[in-house]
Structure 1
Amino acid sequence: MIEDIVLLSRLQFAITVFFHFIFVPLTIGLGAMVAGFEVKYWKTKQEKWKKLAQFWGNLFKINFAFGIVTGFAMTFQFGTNWGQYAEFMGDVFASPLALEALIAFFLEATFFGIWLFTSYKKPALKAISMVLVSIGTMISAIWIITANAFMQNPVGYQMAADGSKVLLSDFGAVLTNPYLWYMLIHTLLAAYLLSALFMTAISGYYLLKKSNVDMYRTSMKLGVYVLIISAILLPTLGMFYGHYVGQVQPVKAAAMEAVWESGSELPMYLIQIPSDSQERNLVQAIGIPYVGSFLLTGDPRGEVTGLNDVPEEDRPPVAITFFSFRIMVMLGIVFILEALAGLYLVRKDPTMESPKSRKYMKLMLYSIPLPYIAIMFGWAVAEVGRQPWIVYGLYRTSEAISGIPAIQILFSMGLLVLFYLLLFFLFLYLMKRAIIAGPEVKEHA
C-alpha cells in the first residue's frame, strides 16, 4: 500500500512539474530575445525592431502568465503529498526558494508590469524593464536549480542531532555546488535552443506566407544563429556533465548506459535493450570500443561500477533512465543537423525563397515539439535516475511522503489533469491567435 502511495505521489508531482516546464524554457529564451529587440529599437528607432519586440513579446506574455499559474501548484504539493520531505529539507530548501521569491519573482513581476504598460513613446524605460525581466527569469532558474542540485549532490549541511533532518551549515558550499552549475548552464542552453527553434519555425511560417518578409528574415536569422550555438554547446557541456555525474552518482551513470557488469575500457553499444527484471541487456550490438568508459568517467580506460554490484533497492528504474537518455541524445543530434542546414540556407539563400529553403521552413514547423520532448526526457534522466533517493544518499523517496490515502491522491490528480488539459488548450488557442494576428496588433492586446 505504501508503494502505491509513493508511486501516485511521484506521478502527480511529475505531471505538475512537466506541465509547468512547458512554459519555463520558452519564457527564459524568448525573454532574452525580446529584451534584445527592445534595446535595438531604443538605440535605432527603426520600426522593424519595434514590431519584432511587439510580436515576440506577445508570445512571451502568454508563456510568462501560464508559467506563473502552473508554478504555484508545485509548492502546494510540498505541504500535501510531501510533508515529510518538507520537514527533512526545510532548513536547506527554505533559503533558495525564499531568495527566488524575494529577488527573482519580485524583479520579474515588477518590471514585467512596467514593460507591459509602458508605451513605445518611452523606449528606454521599455527596454530596461524587459532586460530586467529577462535577468529575473535567469535568477529564478538559479535559485530553483540550487535547491534541486542539493537533492542531487548534497553539500554544505549537517544532520540534526536526532538524524531527523538536514541543517544548513555552509550556504557558500550550496551555491558553489558543481552540480548546480552543470545543471543550470545545461538548462539555460536547452531553453535557448527551444526558443531559437521556435523563433526559426514561426518566422519561417510568415516567410512561407510572404508576410512582413524583412522583419521575419531578421528573426529567422537570429533563431538559426542561436540554434546552432546552443545545439553545439549542449552536447559539449553534456559530455563534461556526464563525467561529473559518473563521479557523484555512479549508479545513475551506469543506468544511463545500462552497464550491468563492472569493468574498464567499456564500449558504447548503439543498439541496447535493458531489462530491469532480468538484470541484463536483452539486446546488445554494435559496440564502439572505449566510448562507454569515456562518457561515464572521462577516461577511455576508466573503471565503471556495474548495476549488478549495487543492491537492487538502491538502483533506479534502469529502462526509463536508459531510454530517456538515448532519446535526449538522438534529438540533440537532430538539432545539430537542423541548425547546420539552417545556417547553410540563410547564407546560401538570404532571401529564403528557394525550394530547399521552403522545405526547411516547413520541416522546422513540424519540429517545434521536439525540443520540448528532449527537455522532458532530460529531466526524466535527472530525476528518475536519482531514485530511490529524493536527497541522494541521505533520504529515500519512500520516507518523504505525507501518507495521505491513495484515493485522495487519485482524486486530486484527476482534478489536476482535467484543469491542466483545459489550461493547455487555452494556451494553444492564445498562442495560435497571437501568431496568426502577427505584428500588427495593439500594444496591450
Structure 2
Amino acid sequence: MDALDVARWQFGVTTVYHFLFVPLTIGLSVLVAILQTMWHRTGNERYLKLTKFYGKLFLINFAMGVVTGIVQEFQFGMNWSDYSRFVGDVFGAPLAIEALVAFFLESTFIGLWIFGWDRLPKRAHLASIWAAAIGTNLSAYFILAANSFMQNPVGYRIDPDSGRAELTDFPAVLTNKVALITFPHTLAGSFLVAGSLIVAVGLWHVIRNRDSADTGAYRFATKFGSWVVLVASAAVLFTGDIQGKIMTDVQPMKMAAAEGLYTTESPASFSVLTIGSLDGSREVFALKIPYLLSYLGTGDPNGTVHGINDLQAQYATQYGAGSYTPIIPVTYWSFRFMIAFGMAAGAIALLVLWSQRKGRTPSSKWLLRAGLAMPVLPLLANSFGWIFTEMGRQPWIVFGEMLTRNGVSRSVSLAEVLTSFTAFTLIYATLAVIEVKLLLRYAKAGVPDVSEQPPTDDTDDAERPLAFAY
C-alpha cells in the first residue's frame, strides 16, 4: 500500500459519503417548493403543514451536505495537486461559477425562506424557495460539467511548454454531451431519493398513528411521494438508456467492463450473470440475453460492442504499454446494484399506492418495513452509480490525457494521507450519527401546528428579531 492507494480510498470514501446528502437536497428542494406552491394556490392547511415538515428535513440535510462538500474542494490541493495543476485551468471554471453564482443563490434564498415566514409577502416567500431550488440544481449542473470533462475532455488544448490543459472553449465544456445527459439522469435519481423519503415518513405516520388528526396529510404525502418515485424511476431508465449509448461512444472500455464483455461481439448480448477468470482476462460462465447489449449500447440490435481484450490491445498501441482495464468485478456488480436498488424502490412505491386504493388505509407491518427501507434503496443506487462511473474510467483521472497515478501529490507521504483519511472517517462517522438522529427525531415529531398564535406581548412585529421559523 502506498500514498496513491490511500489517497484514492480517501477521495472515494469522502465523495460517496458527501453524495448521500446531495440527491436528497436536490430533490427535496423542488418537492418542498411544489408543496408550498400548492398551499399558496389552494390555501389548504394540509400543504402548509407538509411544507414546513419536509422543509425541516430538507434543511437538516442541506446543512450536512454543505459541511461534507467543503472537504471535496480541499482534497484537490491536498492529495491531488498534480491533477489540479494539470487541469485546473479547465476544471476550475465551472467550479468557480458554481460557488460564486449557484451556491450563493441557493444559500441566500434559503436564508430568506427560513427567516421570512410571516415577514415576507407570501409570493416573495414562495419565490425564495423556488430560487433556492433553482440554485441547488444549477450547482449540480456546474459540478457535473466539471466531472464530465474528466469522462470526455472537450474545449481544451495541451500547452506544449507547460504540459497543462488550457481552456479554449468554455461553452463546449458546459455543453459536453456527457454532461447534458448526466445532469437529467442525476436529477431523476435525486427525485427518486427525495420521493422515497417522503413516502417512508408519511407511511410510518399513516400506519403507526392511524387516529391522528393529520392522517389525511400523511396519506397525501405517501401518494405524492409514490408518484414522484414512479415518474423518477421512468426518467432514470430513459436517461440511463441514452447515457449508456453515449458511454459506449466515448468510453467503450467502461461499457465492456460493465457487462464483463471480453471479446468484441456483433450483435452483443446483455449479461445477466458473468463469471470471469481470476486474472480478469476471459469469460468462464455467462447467462445472457441476446441482442440487448447491442441495442443498449448502440441503438441497433445488431450493433457492434467492443470487448475488453480488444480495447486493451488498442489502448496499449495508442497510449503505450500498461493496463487500461478497470477492476472488472467492481464495475460489473456496481452497475447491477445500481439498477437493482433503483428498481426495488419503484416496486415498493407501486405497493404503497396499491395499498391505499379506493381510500383504504395500509396496515401491513411488512409494507411498513419495506417503506422504511425505501430511502436507503435509491441512496445505494446513487452511490453504486457513482462508484461505477468513477471506477469504470480507471486507470484514467482524465480520460485519454492523464492517468490517476500521475495526478497524486508527490510531496505527500503515506503517513500524512493515512492521518487525514483516519480523521475524515472519524469526523464523518460522527456527523452520520448526528444526521440520522436529527432526521429521526424530527420525522417522528410529525407535522407542526400551523394555526394562528396570538402575540404574547405588545412588541411591534417590525421590532422583533428574526427567528428560526421552525
Q: Deviations over 1:145-190 (max 9, x none)?
A: 0100111001111111226211111111111111001111110000
Which residue number in structure 2 is paired with residue 406 of structure 1? 414
Which residue number in structure 2 is paired with residue 123 of structure 1? 122
For residues 276 and 298 of structure 1, do their structure 2 counterparts lie closer, same or farther at Cα, with a shift above 3 Å needed? farther
Cα distance in 1 for residues equivalent to 2:276 and 2:118 = 58
Would you say the 8 A contact 2:344–2:377 is kept in 1? no
Q: Which runs of 5+ in 1 are unaligned?
A: none
Cα distance in 2 for residues equivalent to 1:163 and 1:288 = 49
Give the counterpart of 1:350 among 356, 359, 365: 359
For residues 120 and 220 of structure 1, do their structure 2 counterparts lie closer, same or farther at Cα, with a shift above 3 Å needed? farther
Would you say the 8 A contact 1:276–1:318 is kept in 2? no
Would you say the 8 A contact 2:49–2:449 is kept in 1? no
Q: Which has the larger radius of gyration?
A: 2
Which residue number in structure 2 is paired with residue 431 of structure 1? 439
Instruction: Please state how far the C-alpha of 1:63 moved relative to its aligned partner.
Output: 0.5
Cα distance in 2 for residues equivalent to 1:26 and 1:392 = 29
Cα distance in 2 for residues equivalent to 1:271 and 1:109 = 46
Which residue number in structure 1 is paired with residue 135 of structure 2? 136
Instruction: Please state how far the C-alpha of 1:293 moved relative to its aligned partner.
Output: 2.0
Cα distance in 1 for residues equivalent to 2:222 and 2:10 = 38
Does 2:365 correspond to 1:340?
no
Q: Which amino acid aligns with 1:422?
A: T
Cα distance in 2 for residues equivalent to 1:327 and 1:262 = 24
Which residue number in structure 2 is paired with residue 288 of structure 1? 289
Structure 1 segment 92-171 matched on structure 2, within 5 A:
92-120=90-118, 122-162=121-161, 164-171=163-170
Instruction: Please state how far the C-alpha of 1:278 moved relative to its aligned partner.
Output: 4.2
Q: Which amino acid aligns with 1:213?
A: T
Q: Which amino acid aligns with 1:430?
A: L
Structure 1 segment 21-420 matched on structure 2, within 5 A:
21-120=19-118, 122-162=121-161, 164-208=163-207, 209-210=209-210, 211=212, 212-275=214-277, 277-285=279-287, 287-309=288-310, 310-311=312-313, 313-346=323-356, 348-351=357-360, 353-355=361-363, 359-403=366-410, 404-420=412-428
Instruction: Please state how far the C-alpha of 1:27 moved relative to its aligned partner.
Output: 0.7
Cα distance in 1 for residues equivalent to 2:248 and 2:221 = 39
Q: Which amino acid aligns with 2:306?
A: T
Instruction: Please state how far the C-alpha of 1:399 moved relative to its aligned partner.
Output: 0.6
For residues 354 and 330 of structure 1, do their structure 2 counterparts lie closer, same or farther at Cα, with a shift above 3 Å needed? closer
Cα distance in 1 for residues equivalent to 2:449 and 2:3 = 49
Cα distance in 1 for residues equivalent to 2:280 and 2:399 = 25
Instruction: Please state how far the C-alpha of 1:386 moved relative to its aligned partner.
Output: 0.4
Cα distance in 2 for residues equivalent to 1:390 and 1:126 = 43
For residues 332 and 22 of structure 1, do their structure 2 counterparts lie closer, same or farther at Cα, with a shift above 3 Å needed? closer
Q: Which amino acid aligns with 1:173?
A: A
TM-score (norm 1): 0.95
Structure 1 stretch displaced more, 228-237 or 434-443:
434-443
Instruction: Please state how far the C-alpha of 1:265 moved relative to its aligned partner.
Output: 1.1
Q: Which amino acid aligns with 1:216?
A: Y
Kindly report structure 1 stretches of 4+ aligned residues shifted beyond 6 Å.
none
Cα distance in 1 for residues equivalent to 2:71 and 2:349 = 36
Matched residue pairs, number? 439
Instruction: Please state how far the C-alpha of 1:335 moved relative to its aligned partner.
Output: 2.9
TM-score (norm 2): 0.90
For residues 90 and 362 of structure 1, do their structure 2 counterparts lie closer, same or farther at Cα, with a shift above 3 Å needed? same
Cα distance in 1 for residues equivalent to 2:276 and 2:387 = 17
Instruction: Please state how far the C-alpha of 1:319 moved relative to its aligned partner.
Output: 1.0
Would you say the 8 A contact 1:38–1:123 is kept in 2? no
RMSD: 1.7
Instruction: Please state how far the C-alpha of 1:436 moved relative to its aligned partner.
Output: 1.5
SS of 1:271's partner is: strand
Would you say the 8 A contact 1:38–1:50 is kept in 2? yes
Q: Deviations over 1:373-419 (max 9, x none)?
A: 11000001110000111111111111101021111111110011000
Q: Which amino acid aligns with 2:200?
A: A
Structure 1 stretch displaced more, 39-48 or 365-374:
39-48
Does 2:469 correspond to 1:444?
yes
For residues 5 and 114 of structure 1, do their structure 2 counterparts lie closer, same or farther at Cα, with a shift above 3 Å needed? same
- Quote the sequence identity (%): 37
Would you say the 8 A contact 2:253–2:325 is kept in 1? yes
Which residue number in structure 1 is paired with residue 17 of structure 2? 19
Instruction: Please state how far the C-alpha of 1:359 moved relative to its aligned partner.
Output: 4.2
Cα distance in 1 for residues equivalent to 2:280 and 2:405 = 24
Which residue number in structure 1 is paired with residue 460 of structure 2? none
SS of 1:272's partner is: strand
Would you say the 8 A contact 1:107–1:136 is kept in 2? yes
